[in-house]
DNA sequence: CTGTTAGCGCCTTCAA
DNA sequence: TTGAAGGCGCTAACAG
């Protein structure tokens, strides 16, 4: 008994492999082989060992095992996700891909600081992680981290600037195309794009998708190009007001993010424009708290973050298993239609 | 050279403690003591060993160390944070409290499922985590998890129903009081509370704080009690409209969450009420994306999540060190004044 | 103060 | 097919 009252169940007596071996009447070596389904062990004795292990509730000591430099069944995840938006969906996807229970994830936060990031990576490597997931904050390509050659790395969200590295990024060009397609499907033709900051790859890619899809239909953006600005509601409101009061005759606005789209929505409302009847509005990210209860609820392009995580984890697993599949992949996104468009 | 092109730097030859010892001309044991600042080692030799270690870029083998069943410098963090809001701030706080680099965090997501949670806890214990941070999704007390008695646990956000366990929760009663105090300070007297769901401890506690603080000033809520409903903008809008058009003569509304407060804000705006001139509005959580660009920017009570994480981690550290400090603690929150109140 | 001797629990030769 | 022996890298206990 410990002195701490009622703080938990008793630690069961540690049962080691040699306990199992003794119980099964074999040597430790044989027990080891039996449990690891290794070299030919007589079926009967294997069963006996397994029974003994089960009876004693044997759990192999993780550290003793790792000491003999095998796999650790641990991956490291380094993030700089200041918005707190990507980590969990991606973690969930990763847990799914690995099959629950088998794998553990060491999480570290780099706080968007290269030095901290490298420090954490060193720590993780000293813990012999089997692989590394490096999760970025934007989709802007980022310089690769310095990692031992035998530790596979998958960059998630923000790809590595080195194309030969494994990177998994949402397909923002597709996102732009889908937004346009959705609007065209409901008969819109005069579309404006109120975009985020031009320094963001996401903004550029979405714009590229939008203009490309429009071009495929012989159209172009109202005003000829996307309006780069800030990622915020205020920018959305400002542009929304200008667009709706001008003589542009627009019938749809694409917001560069849900934030922006909400700003647009609010300004249109102020001006008495009906959404979607007069003007349709669509956003990117499908961030529930922004999208579900706006007036009207906002149609948005979902970035499929959990899928992203699953793919990233799967590629990592493959790489750990030796099947390297270098290069960037751009993962699909999809429209979530609500009432604004 | 590996065959994978440019995927990382070469794995340096493993340097072990005995390499260091040899280089320093001492025994392995001495080297160990020297590096761990253990028993009295002559200053000179300690320096020599440290120099050798540095020269060889020695990193102690984590698993060999853990095998001797000392500390693992690892804590487990189990979350059910579906909203994706608490994990990172709390992780940050924990990293701070432990002093960076020294500690690693194994993160697992329970998806709000008791079985999954217990499964993850077992895995974490098999990895000999020094302690466990169990992060909830609400502040409702939750049944304790089953954990070995020698593994300290701190419940964060959602406390354990067992009062003797260590729990760290934001002080929602204080939050309610602070909201009222802030409004009273600016001369408001007729205050309504549009609250979230009654089944949430957070809603109840905030309401309790609000009414208590009002009572201390000889006041009570307009309508006599808080309006429980849903945690959403729509509910805020509905109530906002009712309150503003009725004859209650309110001069301030407290929203049970930033969501709700934003709804209130929007409805007041629709009705031509000026905020804060006619009616002040204040929310809870200080969730940046909701709060910063509303019209006007929303005054809100910040739950201090990073602080919460730091405290939780600190208590965990203390418990690991043997200084158990059982019981719940309620951590302070603070007003972030913007323009709405 | 320093070195020698034993393990920690497991896996892996190698011999039987 | 099985077992004995050695070692992974480190720390702890005891001698010197």
pLDDT of residue A82: 74
CA atoms of B188 and B221, how far apart (whole Å): 12
Report residue A257 as tokens: 């993010």
3-state secondary structure of B299: strand
What lies within 8 Å, CB to CB, of A128 at 6+ separation is: A66, A69, A72, A74, B62, B63
CB A150 within 8 A of CB A95: no
Interchain CB contact of A115 with B (< 8 Å): no
Total number of residues shown for chain A: 341
CA atoms of B245 and B261, how far apart (whole Å): 17
Count CA within 13 A, CB hemisphere, residue B90: 31
Query: Which of A267, A255, A330 is closest to A300 using CA atoms?
Result: A255
Interchain CB contact of A77 with B (< 8 Å): yes
pLDDT of residue B268: 96
Is A62 in contact with B127 (Cβ distance < 8 A)?
yes
Section A22-44 average pLDDT: 86
- Which CATH code is given to the segment(s) A172-302? 3.40.50.2300
**CA B37, C1' C8: Å apart?**
21
Q: What are the backbone dihedrals phi and psi of residue A9, each rounded to the nearest 5 degrees, phi first? A: -80, 160
**CA B33, C1' D12: Å apart?**
10
pLDDT band (50, 70, 90) for residue A38? low
A115: alpha, beta or left? (left if phi > 0; alpha if psi -120 to 50): alpha
A vs B, Cβ pairs < 8 A, gives 175
Section A179-200 average pLDDT: 97
CB B48 within 8 A of CB B25: yes
CATH, domain B3-67, list 2.170.150.20, 3.30.420.40, 3.20.170.30, 1.10.260.40 = 1.10.260.40
Peptide bond into A124 cis (omega under 30): no
Neighbours of A328 (CB within 10 A): 16
User: Which percentage of chain A shows pLDDT scores above 90?
Assistant: 70
Q: Where are the domains of chain B?
A: 3-67, 74-170+305-331, 172-302
pLDDT of residue A42: 87
**Does A228 score more than 90 pLDDT?**
yes
Average pLDDT, chain A: 91
Is B146 in contact with A8 (Cβ distance < 8 A)?
yes
pLDDT in tens, A117-171: 999 999 999 899 999 999 999 999 999 999 998 899 999 999 999 999 999 999 9
Total number of residues shown for chain B: 341
3-state secondary structure of B280: strand
For residue A162, the chain B residues in CB contact (below 8 A) are 6
**CA A57, C1' D3: Å apart?**
24
Average pLDDT, chain B: 91
User: What are the Cα distances from residue A233, in Å, to A46, A273, B269, B308?
Assistant: 65, 18, 16, 30
Q: Tell me if domain A3-67 and domain A74-170+305-331 are identical in fold.
A: no
Distance of residue B62 Cα from the nearest chain A Cα, in angstroms: 6
Q: What are the backbone dihedrals phi and psi of residue B282, each rounded to the nearest 5 degrees, phi first? A: -140, 145
Report residue B195 as tokens: 């609250």
**Does A3 score more than 90 pLDDT?**
no
Distance of residue B184 Cα from the nearest chain A Cα, in angstroms: 30
CA atoms of A66 and A128, how far apart (whole Å): 9
- Which bases on strand C have an atom closer than 7 Å to a protein beta carbon? 1-13
Closest CB to B148: pick one of A9, A67, A83. A9
Q: For chain A, what is the radius of gyration of the CA atoms?
A: 27
Distance of residue B216 Cα from the nearest chain A Cα, in angstroms: 35
Q: What pLDDT tens digit does each residue of chain B (341 aa) get?
A: 333 444 577 777 789 999 999 999 998 989 998 988 767 788 888 889 989 999 999 989 999 988 886 688 899 999 988 777 878 888 888 888 877 667 899 999 998 899 999 999 999 998 999 999 999 999 999 999 999 888 999 999 999 999 999 999 999 999 999 999 999 999 999 999 999 999 999 999 999 999 999 999 999 999 888 999 999 999 999 999 999 998 888 999 999 999 999 999 999 999 999 999 999 999 999 999 999 999 999 999 999 998 998 999 999 988 988 888 899 999 999 999 999 99
**Does A266 score more than 90 pLDDT?**
yes
- Which CATH code is given to the segment(s) B74-170+305-331? 3.40.50.2300
For residue A124, the chain B residues in CB contact (below 8 A) are 104
**Does A7 score more than 90 pLDDT?**
no
CA atoms of A180 and A170, how far apart (whole Å): 17
Q: Is the CB of B36 under 7 A from strand D?
A: yes
CB A264 within 8 A of CB A280: no
Query: Which of A224, A281, A234 is closest to A255 using CA atoms?
Result: A281
Residue window 15-54, chain B: list those with CB within 8 Å of chain A: none
Instruction: Please write down the HEC assignment for all residues of chain A.
Output: CCCCCCCCECCCCCCCHHHHHHHHCCCHHHHHHHHCCCCCCCHHHHHHHHHHHHHHCCCCCHHHHHHCCCCCCEEEEEECCCCCCCHHHHHHHHHHHHCCCCCEEEEEECCCCHHHHHHHHHHHHHCCCCEEEEECCCCCCECCCCCECCCCEEEECCCECCCCCEEEEECHHHHHHHHHHHHHHCCCCCEEEECCCCCCHHHHHHHHHHHHHHHHCCCCCCCCCCECCCCCHHHHHHHHHHHHHCCCCCCEEEECCHHHHHHHHHHHHHCCCCCCCCCEEEEEECCHHHHCCCCCCCEEEECCHHHHHHHHHHHHHHHHCCCCCCCEEEECCEEECCCCC
Q: Residue B134: in which H helix or E strand, if any?
A: strand B131-135
pLDDT of residue B38: 67
**Does A179 score more than 80 pLDDT?**
yes
Closest CB to B105: pick one of A81, A107, A162. A107
pLDDT in tens, A269-303: 999 999 999 999 999 999 999 999 999 999 999 99
Query: Which of B46, B201, B89, B79 is closest to B138 using CA atoms?
Result: B201
Is A4 in contact with B123 (Cβ distance < 8 A)?
no
Is B107 in contact with A105 (Cβ distance < 8 A)?
yes
Section A252-262 average pLDDT: 97
Identify the residue among B107, B232, B319 best suited for mutation to test binding to A, counting A beta carbons within 10 A and taking the highest.
B107
Section A18-47 average pLDDT: 87
Q: For chain B, what is the radius of gyration of the CA atoms?
A: 26
pLDDT in tens, A46-98: 889 999 999 999 989 999 988 886 688 899 999 988 777 878 888 888 888 87
For residue B101, the chain A residues in CB contact (below 8 A) are 119-120, 123
Interchain CB contact of B127 with A (< 8 Å): yes
Q: Give the residue with minimal CA–C1' separation from D8.
A: A68
pLDDT of residue A1: 34
Q: Where do we find the tokens 């951590």?
A: B331
Q: What are the backbone dihedrals phi and psi of residue B18, each rounded to the nearest 5 degrees, phi first? A: -70, -30
CA atoms of B239 and B195, how far apart (whole Å): 10
pLDDT in tens, A303-341: 999 899 899 999 998 898 888 889 999 999 999 999 999
Interchain CB contact of A64 with B (< 8 Å): yes
Identify the residue among B16, B113, B149 best suited for mutation to test binding to A, counting A beta carbons within 10 A and taking the highest.
B149
CB A157 within 8 A of CB A171: no
The DSSP letter of residue B112 is T
3-state secondary structure of B44: helix
User: Which percentage of chain A shows pLDDT scores above 70?
Assistant: 96
**CA B44, C1' C3: Å apart?**
17
pLDDT of residue A101: 65
For residue B88, the chain A residues in CB contact (below 8 A) are 79, 81, 84, 87, 109
For residue B66, the chain A residues in CB contact (below 8 A) are 63
């Amino acid at each position: 008994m410990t002195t701490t009252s009622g703080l938990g169940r008793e630690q069961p007596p540690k049962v080691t492999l040699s306990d199992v071996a003794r119980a099964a009447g074999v040597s430790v070596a044989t027990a080891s082989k039996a449990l690891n389904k290794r070299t030919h062990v007589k079926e009967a004795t294997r069963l006996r060992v397994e029974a003994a292990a089960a009876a004693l509730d044997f759990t192999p000591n993780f550290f003793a095992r790792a000491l003999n430099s095998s796999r650790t069944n641990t991956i490291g995840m380094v993030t700089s996700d200041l918005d707190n938006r990507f980590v969990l969906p991606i973690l969930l996807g990763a847990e799914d891909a690995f099959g629950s229970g088998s794998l553990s994830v060491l999480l570290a936060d780099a706080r968007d600081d290269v030095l901290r990031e490298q420090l954490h990576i060193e720590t993780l490597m000293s813990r012999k992680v089997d692989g590394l997931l490096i999760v970025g904050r934007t989709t802007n390509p980022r310089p690769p981290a310095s990692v031992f050659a035998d530790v596979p790395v998958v960059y998630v969200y923000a790809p590595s600037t080195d194309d030969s590295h494994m990177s998994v990024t949402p397909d923002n060009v597709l996102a732009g195309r889908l937004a346009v397609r959705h609007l065209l499907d409901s008969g819109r033709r005069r579309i404006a794009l109120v975009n985020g900051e031009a320094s963001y790859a996401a903004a550029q890619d979405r714009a590229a998708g939008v203009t490309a899809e429009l071009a495929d239909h012989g159209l172009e953006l109202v005003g000829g190009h996307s309006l780069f600005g800030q990622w915020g509601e205020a920018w959305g409101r400002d542009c929304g007001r200008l667009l709706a009061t001008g003589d542009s005759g627009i019938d749809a606005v694409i917001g560069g993010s849900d934030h922006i789209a909400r700003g647009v929505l609010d300004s249109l409302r102020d001006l008495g424009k009906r959404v979607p009847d007069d003007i349709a509005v669509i956003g990117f990210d499908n961030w529930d708290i922004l999208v579900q209860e706006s007036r009207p609820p906002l149609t948005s392009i979902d970035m499929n973050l959990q899928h992203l995580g699953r793919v990233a984890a799967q590629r990592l697993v493959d790489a750990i298993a030796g099947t390297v599949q270098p290069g960037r992949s751009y993962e699909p996104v999809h429209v979530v239609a609500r009432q604004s468009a």
